[in-house]
């Protein structure tokens, strides 16, 4: 019933929201996130409160929870307007020059995080001329799947499915397609948030080790990236310097573990500092590590 209500609300709001100015869309989505979502998802609200206590002790919990739910609600509502954001001047970019330099030197895997409005990461790559290819799981509802797929195709991206052939497809992108691989590191699979580690020990499963493996196999640059929500329906897309993987030792398992640890060491503090804008604060558990 809860999923049905959420899906019905999405369908009812999407087309009317497309006719409104962007600031109004963000405000409506944020209000619904703060006022409606906690009642629809009390278990996730409790998990988020526990995550904030564990990872950001001392933060005012109620205020942080309101910000977190507001970001989620706004992000979903903004799908109705997101293709206009670039032309409306709502997206600033930090680190574009280093990303473009890395892409000129060879293949790039953009190691994304679900922060702010993460859909803007692919849009930014497309507007920089980097032809993003995302590794994507299916959305939880058919309606959201249609909306997200349409948005990504319209801004010039494409997707490969996160299935048993994903590694082969990803390597094909990295080995000479002229496209840029967008791979989110904070994956949520079968009720478990695999990364970043966030104090749970080195990541041994999930997308962070997979990204390290792809980098070892293809020689691609690993460029961490994320989106921050700013006041007034504005955003900042940040591309960090490529992560330097430790020199290979010949021990394949040890080399992959060391590469995953190096990437995780960059991603972990980014998420810790922005739990109010992280999509998976509502799902994270300390026991999910390892």
- At 6, the pLDDT band (50, 70, 90 cuts) reads low
Of residues 142 and 5, the one with the higher pLDDT is 142
Please tell me whether residue 239 adopts helix, strand or coil conformation.
Answer: strand
- Which pLDDT tens digit goes with each residue over 248-273? 898 999 999 999 999 999 999 999 99
| C-alpha span between 261 and 202 (Å, rounded) | 6
Q: Is the pLDDT of residue 132 over 70?
A: yes
In this predicted structure, the answer to whether residue 1 has a pLDDT above a threshold of 70 is: no
SS3 281: helix
DSSP string for 191-206: TEE--S-TTS-S--SS
The predicted-structure confidence for 87-108, as pLDDT tens digits, reads as follows: 999 999 999 999 999 999 999 9
Find the helix packing angle between 252-272 and 207-218, rounded to 10°.
Answer: 130
Does residue 237 surpass a pLDDT of 80?
A: yes
pLDDT of residue 288: 65
Domains of the chain are 2-288 (3.40.1130)
pLDDT of residue 290 exceeding 70, the answer is no
Average pLDDT, the chain: 92
């Amino acid at each position: 019933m809860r999923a049905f209500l959420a899906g019905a609300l999405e369908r009812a709001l999407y087309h009317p929201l497309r006719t409104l100015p962007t600031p109004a869309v963000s405000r409506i989505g944020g209000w619904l996130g703060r006022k409606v979502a906690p009642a629809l998802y009390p278990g996730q609200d409790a998990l988020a409160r526990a995550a904030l206590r564990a990872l950001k002790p001392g933060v005012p919990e109620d205020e942080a929870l309101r910000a977190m739910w507001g970001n989620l609600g706004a992000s979903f509502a903004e799908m109705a307007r997101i293709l206009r954001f670039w032309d409306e001047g709502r997206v600033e970019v930090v680190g574009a020059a280093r990303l473009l330099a890395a892409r000129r030197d060879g293949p790039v895997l953009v190691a994304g995080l679900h922060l702010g409005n993460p859909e803007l990461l692919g849009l930014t790559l497309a507007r920089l001329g980097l032809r993003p290819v995302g590794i994507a799981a299916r959305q939880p509802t058919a309606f959201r799947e249609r909306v997200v797929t349409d948005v990504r195709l319209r801004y010039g991206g494409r997707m490969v499915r996160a299935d048993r052939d994903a590694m082969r497809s990803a390597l094909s992108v990295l080995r000479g397609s002229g496209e840029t691989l967008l791979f989110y590191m904070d994956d949520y699979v079968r009720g478990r948030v695999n990364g970043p580690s966030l104090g749970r020990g080195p990541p041994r499963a999930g997308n962070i080790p997979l990204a390290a493996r792809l980098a070892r196999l293809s020689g691609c640059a690993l460029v961490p990236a994320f989106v921050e929500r700013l006041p007034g329906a504005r955003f900042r897309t940040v591309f960090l310097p490529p992560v330097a993987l430790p020199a290979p030792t010949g021990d394949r398992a040890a080399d992959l573990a060391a590469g995953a640890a190096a990437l995780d060491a960059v991603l972990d503090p980014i998420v810790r500092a922005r739990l109010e804008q992280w999509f998976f604060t509502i799902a994270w558990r300390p026991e999910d590590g390892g």
